[in-house]
Amino acid sequence: MDAPLPERIAFLGGFLPRLCGIATFTHDLCEAVAGAAPGADCFAGAVNDRQEGYAYPPRVRFELDQKDQDSYRRAADFLNFSNAGVLCLQHEFGIYGGSAGSHVLALLKEVRMPVVTTLHTILREPNAEQRRVMEELILRSDRLVVMARRGQEILEETYGVTADKVDLIPHGIPDMPFMDSSFYKAQFGVEGRQVLLTFGLLGPGKGLEYVIEALPEIVKRHPQAVYLVLGATHPHLVAREGESYRLGLERLAEDRGVKEHVIFFNRFVSLEDLKDFIGATDIYLTPYLNEAQITSGTLAYVFGAGKAVVSTPYWHAQELLADGRGILVPFRDPHAIAQGVCAFLDDPELMRKTREQAYQMGREWIWPATGQRYLDAFKRARKERRVVPRSAFAQWTLASRPYDLPPLRLDHIMRMSDGTGILQHALFNVPNFLEGYCTDDNARAFILCTLLDELGGQPPSEGLDRLATSYLAFLCAALNPHTGRFRNFMNHGRQWLEDSGSEDSHARAVWALGTGAGRSRNEGHRRLCLQMFERGLAAIEGFSSPRAWSFALLGIHEVLAQTPAHAVAKALRETLTLRLVGLWEACATDTWPWFEPSATYDNARLCQALILSGQELPHSGALAIGLKALGWLVSVQKAPAGHFRPIGNQGFYERDGAHADFDQQPLEAQAMVSACLEARSATQDPAWSREAKRAFEWFLGRNDLGLPVYDSGSGGCGDGLHPDRVSENQGAESTLAFHLARAEMSFAQHMIGSA
């Protein structure tokens, strides 16, 4: 017995007027399902790729910020409380925030209705993070929709999905009459010409330059041919590079002598206008460069309208144009494109038969038919959910919910920053100009900007980029070309106060530059960071500070994650790792499992460096030492009441001596968060997530005084916890310690939530 139709059907993806293919698809699908089920309440949630959002139609009842993970959980709450009977999710890695679009998993973990996911991209060779996201997406979806048989094959071969979980529903298309193109050409002023068309958002992967390269050969045989490129440049590409791609195509057309045969129509057209453009088309061209494109909405539209198609053999085109339904040509081959186009223009009978075959096949894809097929998939999902309920809904307790982090507030960091960099100290929450700047804090600040940009959310990316640029400029200026060492202290008049800073400050700069080289999305920043990283690396081998070794190892790890063949970094990683192991072997005992006769400051960084390097070299002994030392550090930094109590800087902790309880520094809590999260990643033991959470909550008031060290009003953090009070001064080191810890907790929320 079939399950009844749900009373409310929710859709999630981009939505018009956002300019992208997923937005158009979500809009059209929502309308098609509403038409097929007039008694159902169909509504949508829109994923915003910009802070101001869009002027959405009434169908859109909730919005979420692509880069803000918390907004995904709020969206899940909205869906649950609205009693949606099914959620139809549009999935494409690029439209959701987080690594490989992982933020959408936060929503899927909490929604209580059946989920039907349409897969717009299915990777045959995913990287590790893409595979992780895809596998969890598959697990948390009741049914999967693919638009081509090749997609179903990849799901089976690569991800082990059984065929009974998958519905094959071709991309929907508008219903257009089968008419001769001359009927439409007059309104565009191209009467008597053979119109070649490509439409959609423009970008380098479209391969349009190869069509332009083919035009001289085409025009030589068919002088009336004209190539119409319809569509705006992708907004994200415009934001990064302006119109350089389109301008390059225009220059190419001029260089090849075919500028009179190319028309650029630089706008995103309505469906009604698009129908007219398609109607005026004789041959549609998709010269895409990537074989692994499992679906193309533009190809489906034009093919279903009964147009002749010449295409490169990406997966969707291979399937659609098989058995003589179009012409496939090799990738990046202008001559083959010309031959394919001329094959149709030379033989009108071939074009007619091909068009008729395509049009007949397309009758099965018109949106009313597609809407009905989705309704059938929704019924199957609801029926299967009744038989196999989702076990995750058995508990809806505080323990099962993700850990709520304080809202991001960077007011104080911005207040402490100017065109030179970030100032060291504050008087209460006011920057203290007298103390000037230091490399240590600008390195921390640059790491924070890089992490926040990767996470997304507030502030806008241009604000982060501006801050990051100032901090990076400071680090570059800090490197003394005469000594090869980073200077640390600069006064407010921009005068350096030393020729060389401490080993720790030098290594912390190398750590920050390594992070930028490995993670920054700003190409100029990334390249400059790598150059400065390599310059700063030379001095590290001569250092004697274990913490400097550890900071350098953290930066080296970031570079090698992006550039595994970096020989100098690889060699130094092994050298520094063995030095830390040697310290341990020379000092550690059963009662004092530590690297030195005293535990002083930034202690957990030594453990973190060994945990990371031990995995990557690999060196099982180094990994074991890092975990054992961190376990001891956790034990000695836990108060009898169970909260985090860092080693204080008023005496530290000497072997056979007393543990200094105060003054407690934010730096120690941050280092413990970082190291415990690294241990969780290395071991998959959720106990480490709990320890990271314990250390983070020290900032929020779970400490010896029961007072918050982080000031949620200013966005600053007190410089320490004294025996009787929180320090009222909110310096850069302390404030950055909180925000760095918060950023790392945000990255690892899926671990914390499952702890």
pLDDT for the residue numbered 244: 85
According to the model, what pLDDT value does residue 463 have?
83
Cβ neighbours of residue 566 closer than 8 Å, sequence gap 6 or more? 559, 560
Cis peptide bond upstream of 235, omega within 30: no
Question: Tens of pLDDT along 310-339?
Answer: 999 999 999 999 998 999 999 999 999 999
Mean pLDDT highest for which of 95-99, 274-278, 367-371? 367-371
**pLDDT at position 550 over 90:** yes
3-state secondary structure of 13: strand
Give the residue carrying structure tokens 């068309």: 197
Cβ atoms of 536 and 556 within 8 Å: the answer is no
User: Rounded to an integer, what distance in angstroms lies between the CA atom of residue 136 and that of residue 110?
Assistant: 13
**Token duo for residue 151:** 């997609």
Provide, rounded to the nearest whole percent, the portion of the chain with pLDDT above 90.
78
What pLDDT is recorded for position 2? Answer: 64
Q: What is the pLDDT of residues 48-67, one digit of tens each?
A: 998 899 999 999 999 999 98
pLDDT at 575: 98
Topology of domain 412-753, per CATH? Glycosyltransferase (1.50.10)
pLDDT of amino acid 265: 87
pLDDT of res. 402? 61
Among residues 326, 308, 330, which one has the least CA distance to residue 317?
A: 326
For 361-374, how does the pLDDT look when each residue is reduced to its tens digit (9 = 90+)? 989 899 999 999 99
Amino acid at 253: A
Closest CA to 646 of 595, 581, 709: 709
- Cα angle value 376/377/378 (rounded, 5°): 90
- Token pair, residue 372, equals 């009905």
Beta strands in 268-373 (DSSP E): 283-286, 308-311, 327-328
Domain 182-362, CATH class in plain words: alpha beta
Output the six-digit token pair for 182. 């001359």
Q: Quick one: pLDDT at residue 200?
A: 83
Q: Which residues is 422 bridged to in the sheet?
A: 417
Per-residue pLDDT band at 407 (split at 50, 70, 90): confident
* Cβ contact 201:20 at 8 Å: yes
CA dihedral 621, 625, 628, 633 (to 10 degrees): -170
Nearest to 259 by CA among 231, 221, 224, 226: 226
Token pair for 251: 């220059």
What phi and psi values does residue 54 have, to the nearest 5 degrees? -140, 165
Is residue 380 over pLDDT 60?
yes
Which is more confident, 482 or 205? 482
Is 754 a residue whose pLDDT tops 90?
no
User: What pLDDT score does 72 carry?
Assistant: 93
The per-residue pLDDT for 389 is 45
Strand segments, DSSP code E, in 306-388 are: 308-311, 327-328
Hey, what's the torsion of the CAs at 460, 466, 469, 473, to 10 degrees? -150
pLDDT band at residue 390 under the 50/70/90 scheme: very low
Position 608 pLDDT exceeds 90: yes
In 3D space, the residue among 11, 19, 16, 10 whose CA is nearest the CA of residue 57 turns out to be: 16
Least-confidence region, from 376-380, 454-458, 652-656: 454-458
Contacts of 438 (CB under 8 A, 6+ apart): 424, 488, 489, 490, 501, 505
Whole-angstrom distance, CA of residue 219 vs CA of residue 101: 44
CATH superfamily of 8-172+367-400: Glycogen Phosphorylase B; (3.40.50.2000)
Tell whether the torsion through CA atoms of 320, 322, 328 and 331 is positive or negative.
Answer: positive
pLDDT for residue 362: 87
Judge contact between 369 and 351, C-beta under 8 A: no
pLDDT at 386: 59
**pLDDT, tens digit (0-9, with 9 covering 90-100), for 144-180:** 999 999 999 999 999 999 999 999 999 998 888 888 8
Position 753 scores a pLDDT of 43
**Dist CA 582 CA 499 (whole Å):** 31
142 close to 387: Cβ distance less than 8 angstroms: no
CA geometry: angle 504, 449, 708, nearest 5 deg: 80
Average pLDDT over residues 287-300: 88
Query: Looking at the predicted structure, is the pLDDT value of residue 181 above 90?
Result: no
Per-residue pLDDT tens digits for 456-492 = 655 556 688 999 999 999 999 999 999 999 999 999 9
Is residue 203 within 8 Å of residue 234, measured between CB atoms?
yes
CA separation for the pair 330, 391 (Å, rounded): 49
Q: What is the pTM (predicted TM-score) of this model?
A: 0.73
Q: Given this model, what pLDDT does residue 394 score?
A: 46
Instruction: Express each pLDDT in 214-254 by its tens digit.
Output: 999 999 999 999 999 998 876 766 667 778 888 999 999 99
Select from 751, 575, 754 the least CA-distant residue to 678.
751
182-362 and 412-753 have identical folds: no
Alpha helices in 640-748 (DSSP H): 666-683, 686-700, 732-747
Helical (H) or strand (E) element with 385 = helix 367-387
pLDDT value for 755: 40
**Averaged pLDDT, 717-746:** 97
E strands, 423-497, in order: 426-427, 430-431, 437-438, 479-480, 485-486, 489-490
Mean pLDDT, range 688-717, rounded to an integer: 96
Domain spans in the chain, listed from the N-terminal domain onward:
8-172+367-400, 182-362, 412-753
